[in-house]
Structure 1
Amino acid sequence: MNEDPSAKLMQIEERFVDSIAENMRAYGISPTVGRVLGIIYMNRNAMTLDELSQATGMSKTRMSQVVREMVDVNIAEKVFEKGVRKDIYDVEQDYYQTFISLFTSNWEKIIKKNRLLGKKLSAELAILLENEAINAEIEAKINELLIETKKWLDYYDWLNRLVAFFDSGEVFRHVPKSE
């Protein structure tokens, strides 16, 4: 096995990056975002948009969009480095925290959207109940939907508490990290 160790190491790092990129699909995140996450992670240092563009072959404009998406889901952050005038981005080096950030950011958006919808539907149904033109059958259907909407809101309340459980780190008391 006379393979160049440096080339083999680069090949292994690339497989890590590919795996991270593919795993992002499970979180509803594009493999492109995962690829950039993996590149910064494997670099072990923060990187500029220029460095990321060069490493990925993507335009600086596209790289800026990808990094903004990463910041939005809390898996990357802009960092300050004395003497550097360009924007520099770094990623969380802890796999567990990355999971929590991805899990919670996705669910927080879904929870907010569905809670608003549930409240809006409840209000609309309550107004319908006040209408004197409804018959017993329609009133029964409205009441069924009000009950269903309550279950809906209870479910999203539970999900919100689950997200808070992960966000707080309390989950690690019940499912400890591997050492």
Structure 2
Amino acid sequence: MNERALNKIKHTEDQFIERTAENMAAFGVSGTVGRVLGIIYLNKEPLTLDELSHATGMSKTRMSQVVREMLDLNIAEKVFEKGARRDKYNVEQDHYQTFISLFSANWSKIVSRNKITEKKIRRELLEALEEEGLTEEIEARLNLLLTETKRWLEYYHWMDSLIEFFESEEIFKHVPKPQSDKD
């Protein structure tokens, strides 16, 4: 009887870890990060790189890279444990906060990169407009592209506001968490 229940628990935990890994793809994050996130989440306690390596079958070097990526995404944190000789890592237990961290990290990178590109393109277009002897058609096309870069920059500023809306948790005033998930 116990063995059957233990097998069901193991199967369910494996399913949870795989669903977490698949969900990470929606954020542009590797399944490996998702698996590690799921493993730490289910453990409910911080784990060392050795423990994570053992749980995943990955090398400690690869696990270090995965944990570093998780730290960069703000979905894991290094935890100090008195008396522990090795670093331990934990993850946010609040799924909503994990979503916000992943959403913000991914979109912030995209927005930042695109703002830089759009500003560079805008400068180049303005320089092109200053050239002498442009035909009306070329001038019209350059102006059209300038208008588009302005629209893109406005969009990126809007995305910054959306990211702030999530990070400030203002979102929960408009789309509340279910009662069972509130602190």
- TM-score normalised by the shorter chain: which range applies? over 0.9
Q: Deviations over 1:67-105 (max 9, x none)?
A: 111111111111111111212110000000001111110
Q: What displacement does 1:131 show?
A: 1.1
Whole-Å separation in 2 of the counterparts to 1:129 and 1:94: 52
Matched, 1:50 2:50: yes
Partner of 1:4: 4
Q: Which amino acid aligns with 2:59?
A: S
SS of the aligned residue for 2:26 comes to helix
Find the residue that maps to 1:77 and give its secondary structure.
Answer: strand
Cα distance change on mapping 1:171 and 1:31 into 2, 3 Å:
same
Unaligned runs of at least 5 residues, structure 1: none
Alpha-carbon separation, structure 1, partners of 2:107 and 2:11: 35
Residue aligning to 2:159 = 159
Match of 1:136 in 2: 136
Q: Give 5+ residue unaligned stretches, structure 2.
A: none
Measured in 2, the distance between the counterparts of 1:84 and 1:31 equals 29
Please give the root-mean-square deviation of Cα atoms over the aligned residues, in Å.
Answer: 1.2
Q: Which moved more, 1:3-12 or 1:33-42?
A: 3-12
Runs of 4+ in 1 over 2 A off after TM superposition: 1-8
1:118 alignment partner in structure 2: 118
Q: Using the TM superposition, name which of 129-138 and 110-119 deviates more.
A: 129-138
Partner of 1:63: 63
Distance 1:166 1:16 in 2: 25
Identity %: 61
* Aligned partner of residue 124 in structure 2, secondary structure: helix
In the superposition, relative to structure 1, how do residues 77 and 152 fare at CA in structure 2: closer, same or farther (>3 Å)?
same
Q: How does 1:10-25 map to 2 (within 5 A)?
A: 10-25=10-25
For residues 96 and 142 of structure 1, what CA distance do their matches in structure 2 show? Answer: 44
Amino acid at match of 1:9: I
Q: Report the TM-score, using the length of structure 1 for normalisation.
A: 0.96
CA distances 1:148-173 after superposition (whole Å, capped 9, x unpaired)? 10001011111110011001100000
Counterpart residue number, 1:35: 35
CA shift, 1:2, in A, is: 7.0
